[in-house]
């Protein structure tokens, strides 16, 4: 019988099962103990595993990441939580110059099995300092692996993979997806890092999207299907390393590619995806790679402005239609 869990419950179950399986796994972060975290992602874990394995920390992101780096190098498998993705900037030295580089600096003799979890994305009217999508910053750093699941099944499997990984990973939980429900097996399982998911097969155009935008893209594909347009939707799931092979194979098949992300367009990860497609599938393209993303502005607080700011089904559908109308269609 199938079982449905919310995105937040899938995260919690992955952490619980990995803590059950490995006594070296522990959690640390602001208010993750009795309170269970600002979004309830760690609910019940301190009661089950105790205060030494689910640790409430001071309000200091740099200290939280520093604790995680030190514990990981010492042989533990810490999960450290940064409430909002925006706040990783406070700890960027620890993430970029310590966590990401220690294995390299020690010639591979040291491992850093550290999982950083954080809430990203807009849609909650949380304004410019609590709504950003900063994955492109993280993906630019050699040594980090960056994960951004779009559904409960992938959340559980990817979180388990992050915890078992011997290199530092960043798990981005999209805040608007926390209540999303989907089928999730009860037994532990792993979704391999670096493996994209073909959400929907199609022949006329490829859409590459991650996080909440993967679901918006799937809805756009369904909308266009009713008009006789066949759209393939690819969710990379892991942004670093990126599954370029799956994206390229799809470009070979459909000859048109649209990349969608919630971050600002300029310098966003969509530019890297477009460059990869151009390098590996240029001769197959019948139109330039299109990008759908946010404007170059902080995320607005106003609900009406934020809705206008974030990509949605209509903007994605329009970009796909535009790609199909280019010469060669």
> Residue 189 falls within a domain, yes or no?
no
- Give the torsion sign (CA, 313, 266, 61, 52): positive
Query: What positions carry a catalytic annotation?
Result: 130
Q: Which two tokens stand for residue 125?
A: 């009217």
| Reported confidence tier of residue 2, pLDDT bands at 50, 70, 90 | confident
203 & 245 share domain? yes
Express as a percent the part of the chain with pLDDT over 90.
98
pLDDT, one tens digit per residue, over 138-197 is 999 999 999 999 999 999 999 999 999 999 999 999 999 999 999 999 999 999 999 999
Average pLDDT over residues 2-27: 97
Q: Count Cβ atoms within 10 A of the Cβ of residue 2 and give its class: 0-12 exposed, 13-18 middle, 19 or more buried.
A: exposed
pLDDT at residue 28 is higher than 90: yes
Q: Which two tokens stand for residue 42?
A: 């760690």
77 & 141 share domain? yes
Last residue of a domain, which of 126, 149, 183? 183
pLDDT at residue 249 is higher than 70: yes
Write out the residue range of the structural domain in which residue 94 sits: 4-183
57 & 165 share domain? yes
Beta-bridge partner residues of 225: none
Last residue of a domain, which of 183, 217, 243? 183
111 & 252 share domain? no
Q: Under 8 Å CB-to-CB from 194, ≥6 apart: which residues? A: 145, 238, 241, 242, 243
Express as a percent the part of the chain with pLDDT over 70.
98
> Residue 34 falls within a domain, yes or no?
yes
- Terminal-to-terminal C-alpha distance of the chain: 45
157 & 121 share domain? yes
Q: How many domains does the chain have?
A: 2
| Reported confidence tier of residue 250, pLDDT bands at 50, 70, 90 | very high
> Residue 68 falls within a domain, yes or no?
yes
103 & 131 share domain? yes
172 & 201 share domain? no
pLDDT at residue 319 is higher than 90: yes
280 & 152 share domain? no
> Residue 191 falls within a domain, yes or no?
no
The pLDDT, as a whole number, for residue 1 is 53
> Residue 192 falls within a domain, yes or no?
no
The pLDDT, as a whole number, for residue 50 is 97
| Reported confidence tier of residue 329, pLDDT bands at 50, 70, 90 | very low
């Amino acid at each position: 019988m199938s079982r449905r869990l919310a995105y937040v419950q899938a995260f919690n179950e992955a952490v619980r099962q990995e803590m059950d399986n490995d006594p070296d796994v522990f959690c640390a972060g602001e208010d993750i103990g009795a309170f269970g975290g600002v979004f309830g992602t760690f609910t019940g874990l301190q009661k089950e595993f105790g205060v030494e394995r689910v640790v409430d920390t001071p309000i200091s992101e740099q200290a939280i990441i520093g604790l995680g780096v030190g514990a990981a190098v010492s042989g533990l498998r810490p999960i450290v939580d940064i409430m909002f993705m925006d706040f990783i900037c406070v700890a960027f030295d620890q993430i970029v110059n310590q966590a990401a580089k220690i294995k390299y600096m020690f010639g591979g003799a040291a491992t850093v099995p550290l999982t950083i979890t954080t809430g990203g994305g807009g849609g909650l009217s949380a304004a410019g300092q609590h709504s950003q999508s900063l994955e492109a910053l993280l993906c630019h750093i050699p040594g980090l692996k960056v994960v951004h699941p779009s559904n409960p099944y992938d959340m559980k499997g990817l979180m388990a993979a992050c915890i078992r990984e011997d290199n530092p990973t960043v798990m981005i939980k999209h805040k608007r997806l926390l209540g999303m429900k989907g089928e999730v097996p009860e037994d532990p399982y792993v979704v391999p890092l670096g493996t994209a998911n073909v959400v929907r097969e199609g022949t006329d155009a490829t859409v590459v999207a991650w996080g909440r935008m993967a679901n918006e893209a799937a809805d756009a594909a369904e909308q266009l299907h009713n008009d006789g347009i066949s759209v393939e939707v690819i969710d990379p799931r892991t942004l670093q390393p990126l599954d370029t092979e799956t994206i390229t194979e799809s470009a070979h098949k459909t000859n048109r590619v649209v990349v969608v992300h919630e971050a600002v367009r300029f310098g966003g990860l969509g530019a890297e995806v477009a460059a990869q497609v151009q390098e590996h599938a240029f001769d197959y393209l019948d139109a330039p790679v299109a990008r759908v993303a946010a404007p170059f502005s902080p995320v607005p607080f106003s609900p009406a402005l934020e809705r206008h700011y974030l990509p949605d089904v209509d903007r994605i559908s329009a970009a796909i239609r535009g790609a199909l109308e280019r010469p060669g269609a």
